[in-house]
Amino acid sequence: MFMILISHLSTVDASPTGFLWYNDEHGHELNNSSSKLMSWTHDHRIEELKEQFNRAQRIALDNPIANEKWTSLQTDANRIDKRARLIEQHLIAKEKS
């Protein structure tokens, strides 16, 4: 009886393994270098969108025809949509963690 009690107490603090698959390492978590690469790509894409918007806005101001105004408004709308999607993704990721 004493041996059973000792073996039971020694396994109480041990981390579960085996059938509890959700406690095991999955291997698809991002490491530091992967997250840096993704953030650099993300930052690069944001800068590219800002440049496109600024270019379209300058053209619309220099040559205020309907087509140029439409392009400027369209790039601004694209930027707003992308920002909204990024915020949604951030909130979803925050809820999961």
**Do 56 and 72 touch, CB atoms closer than 8 A?**
yes
Rounded to whole angstroms, the Cα distance separating 52 from 45 reads 11
More confident residue, 20 or 50: 50
pLDDT (tens digit, 9 = 90+) per residue, 27-85?
A: 555 566 656 666 666 778 888 888 888 888 888 777 777 777 777 788 888 888 888 88
Report the pLDDT value the prediction gives residue 40, as an integer from 0 to 100: 66
Lookup result for tokens 């000792």: 6
Rounded to whole angstroms, the Cα distance separating 68 from 57 reads 8
pLDDT (tens digit, 9 = 90+) per residue, 1-17?
A: 555 655 555 555 555 55
Cα–Cα separations (whole angstroms), residue 36 to 6, 41, 44, 91:
47, 9, 12, 20
**Do 35 and 28 touch, CB atoms closer than 8 A?**
no
Crossing angle for the helix pair 32-62 and 66-96, to the nearest 10 degrees: 160
In eight-state DSSP terms, residue 86 is H
Residue type, 77: A
